[in-house]
Structure 1
């Protein structure tokens, strides 16, 4: 037998080594693969199980019910009512246009909403329902139910929608809700996922906006099984959301209704405040609007009617509007002078009808002058020259310091939109804001609430409440959140001499109860209910020397926009103050003729907790008041006009 040669043997040895190397590599690879499989299947099992579960199970948010809002007595102001909507699922409908045409024949649908629905159907998954019409009535739902065979893919659904049963009464206070917009989302760093739900509503203005986090609530969730393209197969479980917190306002709904009715026909604002704890019992602006229009989607025509109205119904004038306070500011100057020891209650100044300052004549409203007047007479008859003289001695800094002490120039912390701070000027303010130096004429103008001084009706009510109570009371709008009482507006003592406050209060009493007082015609005669007040008239135009020489034109002869603003503030009862009231009527003319009667009527309504008896009014006014009361009983807050019921 022939043995293999050396070359053949060497070849076999080389092949054996290669086989071992390849076999070893294969064995090593298989070992690594086995280890990796073990790692993924055993050690990473929970992770991959979760990933698989997420592909199979989706979490769908359930919108919570919004918190409701009530007045101080539990009267509903903002509630959630059942709302019906019509949805369409494209995959079930087949011919969408044909189904929409048949649907439009069954129920009345807006063309604009139909176009929006068509656009949404095109960009939405075919198995997702799209809302075609929102807030339809029960009649439409029943019609759809009857015609179900002819309307494939159409489904009526029920949800909740915001409703404001008191209509326009609270529009400027609580505002309204509306669908989340791109602009809303752009203002948030990390938006709540709730806000991404189509047509989810949030507060837009007023309390609805300022306390959105309290009112919104927490979302619920439901776990649903879906297939590979996202179609929902079945619901696995559900966790209901947490309803938003309920709010109780300090406002009395009936008083608020009366206030709005009394301001009807004017461009005006009024505030009623409890002088003891700061509770806002009523705060309204006129004209108003129906907030329900915005919830349902206001039409272009309705919105244009609001924005084109020269009386600005969308503006919350009670907190946003700032006006020269006119003679209602004189209490500030009087207290500043008393506090500085510059004047006593019996000290007098002579008023010849004007005062010359630095070559300029500053006029009193009474051309013939008031003669010698003391503190009480100056407020009772609203003598301007008396306050010009005080201002020259005080200087603007002391006047402004007292203004701030009484709440002017301070942005009040209440949850309403665009609350204004007003303006109590100083020399430094004018230098920075206007680039000009303060002049003595600026101080003289400021002494009668003109010039740069600006205040809102809310601030004027706070000023009056602080004078009446002698404390730094602050306004409170929210009484309770979910039944929990909120901090009171009670404040510490102002630190003013009580005798000085008493002198100013007594002078304000004379304004309303002395025959020579500027508000004597609007007095209250019921014992224990008499009020102390102050009229104010603020100019919105300059009166030239030529016009003054020829005779100043009356407000009645001027266009509405050029007439003076009318103001009145008061507190009552005089002996034991409970409420403070401030009224501003834009371009109303005189404070005594336009604002004082309104304030008197609101004051009596607040004191009596309802319609006051006729014998609370002067005899000469009773027939007119009877007619007014009959008309106001039929005021409808939804329309802002008379109707069969005020409720």
Structure 2
């Protein structure tokens, strides 16, 4: 699992957490061959800094990119609707929505809040892959930020030209549909997803930096303010409206609310036969075949200060595995913010929620509680 927390305004990174980790002190006195081999062979890759080097399909966290690209290109109005029956046919293939029987009539706000795949398939057919890719790069994907930490990777924002150059094959319409829901060739690091979130929250081209070395003031994004406002309103409803996919993980503290977007990234192909028989649940699959769980968000909603991205490798659903972690991280960050008056006991309550969450089977790999407890002790007394 990985979590990144950064300043949504100036880009300073507050935390980079990659789990499972290893004890670097063990290397100072030498380690056994057995221990070294165990680190190398562990499928959870403890030697990899997942925040900067881990590459993941962003899943539905990418839908804000597609919506913003569609608004910017003028191919859709916010109130224009499409009908989601649960699947869309393109050529000889059916592309499915996560909701088997569909969402019915959907406009942009509902499409984001309830994460309707069919709505974004339709947008993608109007937009084309190139315009989606251009907006993705504008929001920080597909690039590195020259961080002074080894291993940073640029990810991948695919285009028809890229596929032709790398694979020698033409781009297909189905690949545009997969791109629209954050799947296919598209890959991003947790750091890039945090930058994307900070840019949506601030409306500026903020770039990440280590604390103490903030860059110059970021220029505004070349996006209409009213379009950004609509995306932020949708992200707010994802968490704080009853129909939102992350409503169960909302921050209840008045004035501390977070906005965000859930994502569940598929890592295996689901056959037509399996769809007809019933898609297997994550808990019934081997760990390596389970979906990745993602959540991106910022807080507080009225004046964003913190932007966060959480990825739980093979953790299942973003709403159940990643969003609660982001909630506790962003609550905890606000609880220790020196600009706020921390409420007595709030940080302890957050720590307990993280520990309780870490005990759940679907989150057992995340071990984020260890990280938060360790960081909390650095800030005693609260």
TM-score by length of 1: 0.54
State how far apart, in whole Å, the 1-side matches of 2:354 and 2:19 are: 23
Asked whether the 8 Å contact 2:245–2:262 carries over to 1, the reply is yes
Residue among 239, 258, 283 paired with 1:556: 283
Report the 3-state secondary structure (helix = DSSP H, G, I; strand = E; otherwise coil) of the residue aligned with 1:536.
Answer: strand
Residue 353 of structure 2 corresponds to which residue in structure 1? Answer: 625
* 2:148 is the counterpart of 1:420: no
State how far apart, in whole Å, the 1-side matches of 2:351 and 2:8 are: 32
State how far apart, in whole Å, the 2-side matches of 1:304 and 1:626 are: 31
State how far apart, in whole Å, the 2-side matches of 1:323 and 1:612 are: 36
Residue 100 of structure 2 corresponds to which residue in structure 1? Answer: 367
Asked whether the 8 Å contact 2:68–2:227 carries over to 1, the reply is yes
* 2:189 is the counterpart of 1:456: yes
Give the aligned CA root-mean-square deviation in angstroms: 2.7
Residue among 332, 349, 352 paired with 2:82: 349
Residue among 321, 328, 332 paired with 2:61: 328
Asked whether the 8 Å contact 1:271–1:582 carries over to 2, the reply is yes
C-alpha change, 1:612 and 1:329, in structure 2 (3 Å) is farther
Residue 223 of structure 2 corresponds to which residue in structure 1? Answer: 496
Larger radius of gyration: 1
State how far apart, in whole Å, the 2-side matches of 1:613 and 1:353 are: 47
C-alpha change, 1:641 and 1:322, in structure 2 (3 Å) is closer
Structure 1 spans left out of the alignment, 5+ residues: 1-267, 480-485
CA deviations over 1:19-54 (Å, ceiling 9, x no partner): xxxxxxxxxxxxxxxxxxxxxxxxxxxxxxxxxxxx
State how far apart, in whole Å, the 1-side matches of 2:261 and 2:231 are: 11
* 2:3 is the counterpart of 1:276: no
State how far apart, in whole Å, the 2-side matches of 1:641 and 1:381 are: 30
State how far apart, in whole Å, the 1-side matches of 2:188 and 2:126 are: 24
Q: CA deviation at 1:424?
A: 0.5
* 2:335 is the counterpart of 1:602: no
Residue 362 of structure 2 corresponds to which residue in structure 1? Answer: none
Residue 384 of structure 1 corresponds to which residue in structure 2? Answer: 117
Residue 7 of structure 1 corresponds to which residue in structure 2? Answer: none
Residue 49 of structure 2 corresponds to which residue in structure 1? Answer: 316
Q: Aligned pair count?
A: 365
State how far apart, in whole Å, the 1-side matches of 2:147 and 2:219 are: 19
Please show how residues 392-403 of structure 1 align to structure 2 within 5 Å: 392-403=125-136
State how far apart, in whole Å, the 2-side matches of 1:279 and 1:640 are: 19
Asked whether the 8 Å contact 2:328–2:350 carries over to 1, the reply is no
Asked whether the 8 Å contact 1:403–1:424 carries over to 2, the reply is yes
State how far apart, in whole Å, the 2-side matches of 1:507 and 1:363 are: 22
State how far apart, in whole Å, the 2-side matches of 1:641 and 1:402 are: 33
Structure 2 spans left out of the alignment, 5+ residues: 360-366
Asked whether the 8 Å contact 2:298–2:305 carries over to 1, the reply is yes
Asked whether the 8 Å contact 1:278–1:490 carries over to 2, the reply is no
Asked whether the 8 Å contact 1:335–1:500 carries over to 2, the reply is yes
State how far apart, in whole Å, the 1-side matches of 2:344 and 2:230 are: 31
C-alpha change, 1:300 and 1:548, in structure 2 (3 Å) is same
C-alpha change, 1:525 and 1:299, in structure 2 (3 Å) is same
CA deviations over 1:558-606 (Å, ceiling 9, x no partner): 0000000000000111110001000000000100010000111001111
Report the 3-state secondary structure (helix = DSSP H, G, I; strand = E; otherwise coil) of the residue aligned with 1:583.
Answer: strand
Asked whether the 8 Å contact 1:522–1:600 carries over to 2, the reply is yes
Q: CA deviation at 1:625?
A: 2.6
State how far apart, in whole Å, the 2-side matches of 1:536 and 1:476 are: 26
Please show how residues 96-245 of structure 1 align to structure 2 within 5 Å: none
Asked whether the 8 Å contact 1:472–1:490 carries over to 2, the reply is no
C-alpha change, 1:402 and 1:534, in structure 2 (3 Å) is same
C-alpha change, 1:416 and 1:616, in structure 2 (3 Å) is closer
Residue 45 of structure 1 corresponds to which residue in structure 2? Answer: none
Residue 264 of structure 2 corresponds to which residue in structure 1? Answer: 537
* 2:294 is the counterpart of 1:567: yes
CA deviations over 1:390-416 (Å, ceiling 9, x no partner): 000000000000000000001122111
Asked whether the 8 Å contact 1:474–1:489 carries over to 2, the reply is no
State how far apart, in whole Å, the 2-side matches of 1:435 and 1:541 are: 24
Q: CA deviation at 1:628?
A: 4.1
TM-score by length of 2: 0.90
Residue among 156, 159, 176 paired with 1:443: 176
Report the 3-state secondary structure (helix = DSSP H, G, I; strand = E; otherwise coil) of the residue aligned with 2:205.
Answer: coil
Asked whether the 8 Å contact 1:334–1:375 carries over to 2, the reply is yes
Q: Which has the higher contact order (CA 8 A, sep 6+)?
A: 2
CA deviations over 1:359-417 (Å, ceiling 9, x no partner): 21100000010011111101110000000000000000000000000000011221111
Q: CA deviation at 1:646?
A: 4.8
Residue 102 of structure 1 corresponds to which residue in structure 2? Answer: none
Higher strand share: 1
Q: CA deviation at 1:478?
A: 5.3
C-alpha change, 1:280 and 1:380, in structure 2 (3 Å) is same
Q: CA deviation at 1:528?
A: 1.2
